[in-house]
Amino acid sequence: MSVRVRFAPSPTGFLHIGGLRTALYNYLFAKKHGGTCVLRIEDTDRTRFVEGAQEGLIEEFKQAGIMFDEGPVQGGALGPYVQSDRFDLYKEHAKKLVDPNLEGNGFAYYAFDTEEDIESMRERQRNAGIAPRYMRGEMNNELTYGSEKTREAIESGVPYVIRLKVPHNRDVRFVDLVHGAIIIAGREIDDQVLIKSDGFPTYHLANVVDDHFMQISHVIRGEEWLPSTPKHVLLYEAFGWEIPQFAHLPLLKNPDGSKMSKRFGDVLVHQFRERGFMPEALINYCAFLGWNPGTEQEFFTMEELVEAFSLERVHKAGAIFDYKRLAWMNAHYLRLEPKERLGEEFASMLEANGVTYASKEYIENVAQLMKERVQTVNELVPFSTYMFKDPIHFEKDYLEQHWNEETETIVTSFLDVLSSIEPFTNEQIETSVKEFLTNNSIPMKKFVHPLRVAITGKKIGADLYSTIQLLGKNAVVRRLKSILELRNQMTEFVTEGIDPKTGETIEVTMVELPITPLEIHN
């Protein structure tokens, strides 16, 4: 039997990272087995429908490199692939399950309860401390009415639902490829509504009917659907259809072990994208959310994932969503990004931050220099402000620690060396600095820290010699001279900073140079 899988999102908003994981596993499984991956839009719940959500999902998959073989865009022989275009099919099938004699002997039955009836049943159950399941023997339905009253009710237009008649005297069994054999007693299962009073199908009915007619061989979905599966199995049995294989993927969890939620950070794919996470990194990270290759390999291309993936290696324990690890993976892909593409992304971010004057080549070079020190492209902007404008703010303690009378004498004589460096390349700058230090018996650390802080305004950054080369002689000389000449005229102010050891917000005293900072038009 050929492998056919589907990803079946409801268009209720943006794609959740868990949805990306489920879609990815379906895609990998299909490709691995030369099968077909279907996209089906489950929009039966019109109250939760969000305009544009379907288009958004499709775009996100495109960016991620997940290609569906059949779906609303591609079409296919077993469509339509949007449930709202298939409503008649569901109703027709629900009716097939109801006993035509209306004597309650079918796999499903009509029920006429009003909202108040259901609410008062719930109330009685709450008071008695019993599980909230439809008590079919006590309610208004085909089973309690009998055929005549049922027919009358239908004919006189009393609103009805169609409910699944779950057998109470036996177990429902199925095998899940991740969770193993599952056995649930029938009396534990609710008489699920299949057709609502507005004539719309519920998820359960539409899902099973579609999986059958779309010839789905494997249902691969999140563990949150595992409790629904016994109802689905009963539906397949009632229709006399072959039951697909099931694989329920582990829940995604917050670092504290609770169900993944936005309390701990972003959960939507587009949010990660906006924060500069690359599609390759998101895919690689999602692959590990419930699966591992059983080897040390940490980074995969899509083709390698297809090769390595198997449902046998999917585990059932919940998968903790580790934001730090995702960022670490992103850093890896960021470094591999082609120079020009990274430059373009960086340029558009700079532009959004008002930096419109630097050349394409300079932006590309800055990105190449800085990319080793950041994890996402977004971090490049705050990390490299001094590459585009002279710094005027310095941490007071740090500057005082590194600048004193002696530093000033050293830096003053270095300015002569600096102006004579030719060619102005990072290698030549490094050689000249080292020669200068050796000739004057100055230890390295007495020089590089003051140099870095004066040129960049920061304690850490990329390679200093390359930074100097990129900025150019004029900018570096100008920055060193500003500190030499104006250090005693700096004004103090207090701002918020982050304690690098504790990560806590602390007060930091800064000093400001009384200059108008120049832009770097390299």
Give catalytic residue positions: 262
Q: Candidates 3-11, 138-146, 297-305, 447-455 — which segment interacts with ligand GLU by CB under 6 A?
A: 3-11
Minimum distance, C-beta of residue 40 to ligand GLU, in the bound complex (Å): 8
Give least dist CB 45 to ligand GLU, A.
9
Q: How far is the CB of 504 from ligand GLU (least distance, A)?
A: 40
For ligand GLU, give the closer residue by CB, 207 or 469. 207
The residue range among 2-10, 27-35, 147-155, 309-317 that interacts with ligand GLU, by the rule CB under 6 A, is 2-10
Q: DSSP readout, 384-399?
A: TGGGTB---EEEHHHH
Where does this chain touch ligand GLU (CB under 6 A) — which range of 7-15, 61-69, 316-324, 397-405?
Answer: 7-15
Q: What letter does residue 289 receive in the DSSP assignment?
A: S
Q: What does each C-alpha distance from 441 to 282, 444, 447 come to in angstroms?
A: 51, 9, 11
Q: How far is the CB of 359 from ligand GLU (least distance, A)?
A: 48
Q: Report the nearest approach of ligand GLU to the CB of residue 225 (Å).
A: 5
Indicate which single residue of 4, 5, 10, 333 sits in contact with ligand GLU (rule: CB under 6 A): 10
SS3 181: strand
- The residue from 5, 8, 226, 470 that contacts ligand GLU (CB under 6 A) is 8
| Total H helices, total E strands in the chain | 21, 14
The token pair that represents 238 in the structure block: 């009632």
DSSP helix/strand/coil, 129 = coil
Which CB atom, from 5 or from 470, has the smaller least distance to ligand GLU?
5
Interaction with ligand GLU in 210-269: which residues (CB under 6 A)?
A: 221, 225
Choices 5-13, 123-131, 268-276, 358-366 (CB under 6 A): range interacting with ligand GLU: 5-13
Smallest gap, in angstroms, from Cβ of residue 95 to ligand GLU? 23
Given a contact cutoff of 8 angstroms between Cβ atoms, the answer to whether 202 and 192 are in contact is: yes
Shortest distance (Å) from residue 42 CB to ligand GLU: 4
CA distances from 183 to 131, 187, 322 (A): 19, 12, 33
Q: Which is nearer to ligand GLU, 9 or 450 (CB)?
A: 9
**3 closest CA partner among 26, 28, 30, 23:** 30
**Cα atoms in the Cβ-side hemisphere of radius 13 Å centred on 259:** 5
Looking at the Cβ atoms of 9 and 290, the one nearer to ligand GLU is 9
- How near is the Cβ of 72 to ligand GLU at its closest, in Å? 14
Q: 221 or 402, CB closer to ligand GLU?
A: 221
Half-sphere exposure of residue 327, counting CA atoms within 13 Å on the CB side? 14
Question: In residues, how long is the chain?
Answer: 522
Amino acid (1-letter code) at residue 262: K
- Binding residues with ligand GLU: total (CB under 6 A): 8
| Residue placing its CB nearer to ligand GLU in the complex, 42 or 390 | 42
Furthest-apart CA pair in the chain: how many Å?
110
Cβ-based nearer residue to ligand GLU, 158 or 177: 177
| Least separation in angstroms between CB 119 and ligand GLU | 27
Contacts of 203 (CB under 8 A, 6+ apart): 10, 42, 44, 45, 228
Q: What are phi and psi of 515, to 5 degrees?
A: -135, 165
Residue 181 bridge partners (DSSP): 175
One character per residue 38-77, x = contact with ligand GLU (rule: CB under 6 A): ----x-----------------------------------
Choose, by CB under 6 A, the member of 54, 207, 217, 365 that binds ligand GLU. 207
Nearer to ligand GLU, 7 or 145 (CB): 7
Is residue 419 classed exposed, middle or buried when 0-12, 13-18 and 19+ CB atoms within 10 A define those classes? exposed
- DSSP string for 471-521: H-HHHHHHHHHHHHHHGGGPEEEEEEEE-TTT--EEEEEEEE-SS-PPB--
* One residue of 4, 5, 9, 383 binding ligand GLU per CB under 6 A: 9
| Nearer Cβ to ligand GLU (218/221) | 221
Site for ligand GLU in 176-205 (CB under 6 A): 203
CB 81 within 8 Å of CB 71: yes
In one-letter notation, the amino acid at residue 12 is T
**In b/e form, how buried is each residue of 491-511, taking b as 16+ CB within 10 angstroms?**
eeeeeeeeeeeeeeeeebebb
- Name beta bridge partners: 54: none
| Separation CA 214–CA 210 (nearest Å) | 6
Q: Quick one: which segment of 8-16, 372-380, 400-408, 502-510 binds ligand GLU (CB under 6 A)? A: 8-16
Pull the structure tokens for residue 403. Answer: 């600048």
Residues that bind ligand GLU (CB under 6 A): 8-10, 42, 203, 207, 221, 225
